[in-house]
Structure 1
């Protein structure tokens, strides 16, 4: 009788031990999957650049990109602009009176791009940002597609934090901050480095991505 009870106790203990091991393995696997999921969620979007065609949220296959460079001194050397980012790139320039009494120079470049060219222009832009800043200039990136876009979904995709927003008729404008973008600007007490505006519907609308802020009319 004593041996029978002992055997039952040992069997129960063995069974409980097996259950505990299984639970432990399940917990470890769940934690691993959760950690991998968090890593994917955190890092995957940051490998993308915050552009419209490559966001996977736009149906458009072509976009118009315009880069605007402003110098308050028109006598600066701009040899580094002699090589455009694309073959079908068009440069134009104009002079205006700056606030300090000198003549300011505005250089604009524009082209129609596909997804691959979009990345090429953006790469060129990121290289030019510190060079232009070193010479006391400012550079602005403007990309437009002929369709309305879900701005909230777009900002969530690129992990940008909304900072300021406005709603007027069918136009939505959200200024945001994305930690990998340069340069940033101060608007009031807020730091922001991109602005997205959209109006209309997916098939009958327009969306613009501006870095760091919108400079031209939309």
Structure 2
């Protein structure tokens, strides 16, 4: 087998260059490489979607836009085709919750809902939202939708909230001092079709200070 000189240069050129480099320069190159790699790794970890999803949630008490310390939380599981075979009531938290099953008055409809009510604090919002995200997947696999409804007895600037939460407004309404924005947030929230728009988050507020605000995912089911 005949080996050409140019092949040897191509294979060993970079290595030979590094060997001829002074030791101090070699150490500097290695340190710079480690620094660049570490910086890129930390940057990726800090701004990766997984970290964002874990640390950030849209619930009201943690926004810094309200003085309220507690909120009323409602979870509604809706199954359009009737009660699922899986008994979700046995898997849902019971302490501090009130759960109620509901069937439509019209016997021609097969819909079924399971609604729960409790009160939460700012400290518990992250855990509650993480639990809700898991519930969304379980209910979705059973053919239903899990709705979340959080309410506080205080008005809020919903435009500021929408900007803070990166919500793309799809529908907006204002009547009798009640303002509402339904929109789209890039996340794993459940979505529904409202008119011609796909939405997965809605916020409704009345007044500032003394008033009331409701956050709904994906939309509000019960009367405000």
Q: TM-score range by the shorter chain?
A: 0.7 to 0.9
Structure-2 residue corresponding to 1:213: 219
2:195 to 184, 188, 191: 188
Q: What is the alpha-carbon distance in structure 2 between the residues aligned to residue 176 and residue 76 of structure 1?
A: 29
Unaligned runs of 5+ in 1: 1-35
Unaligned runs of 5+ in 2: 1-42
Q: What is the alpha-carbon distance in structure 2 between the residues aligned to residue 75 and residue 62 of structure 1?
A: 32
Q: What is the alpha-carbon distance in structure 1 between the residues aligned to residue 159 and residue 191 of structure 2?
A: 20
Structure-1 residue corresponding to 2:119: 112
Q: Residues 96 and 103 of structure 1 are in contact (CA less than 8 Å); yes or no, is this contact kept in structure 2?
A: yes
Q: Which deviations, in whole Å up to 9, do the C-alpha atoms of 1:50-100 show, x marking residues without a partner?
A: 11001111110000000011123444234343243462111111212579x
Q: Please give the TM-score of this superposition, normalised by the length of structure 1.
A: 0.73
Structure-2 change in CA distance of 1:207 and 1:181 (3 Å)? farther
Structure-1 residue corresponding to 2:21: none
Q: What is the alpha-carbon distance in structure 2 between the residues aligned to residue 187 and residue 153 of structure 1?
A: 23
Structure-2 change in CA distance of 1:86 and 1:217 (3 Å)? same
Secondary structure, in 3 states, of the residue corresponding to 2:137? helix
Secondary structure, in 3 states, of the residue corresponding to 1:60? coil
Structure-1 residue corresponding to 2:168: 161
Structure-2 residue corresponding to 1:144: 151
Q: Which deviations, in whole Å up to 9, do the C-alpha atoms of 1:174-216 show, x marking residues without a partner?
A: 11111014211222332211110000221x1000000000101
Secondary structure, in 3 states, of the residue corresponding to 1:124? helix
Q: Please give the TM-score of this superposition, normalised by the length of structure 2.
A: 0.71
Q: What is the alpha-carbon distance in structure 2 between the residues aligned to residue 166 and residue 125 of structure 1?
A: 28
2:79 to 63, 71, 86: 71
Matched, 1:54 2:62: yes
Structure-2 change in CA distance of 1:72 and 1:86 (3 Å)? same
Q: What is the alpha-carbon distance in structure 1 between the residues aligned to residue 111 and residue 161 of structure 2?
A: 35
Q: Residues 72 and 98 of structure 1 are in contact (CA less than 8 Å); yes or no, is this contact kept in structure 2?
A: no
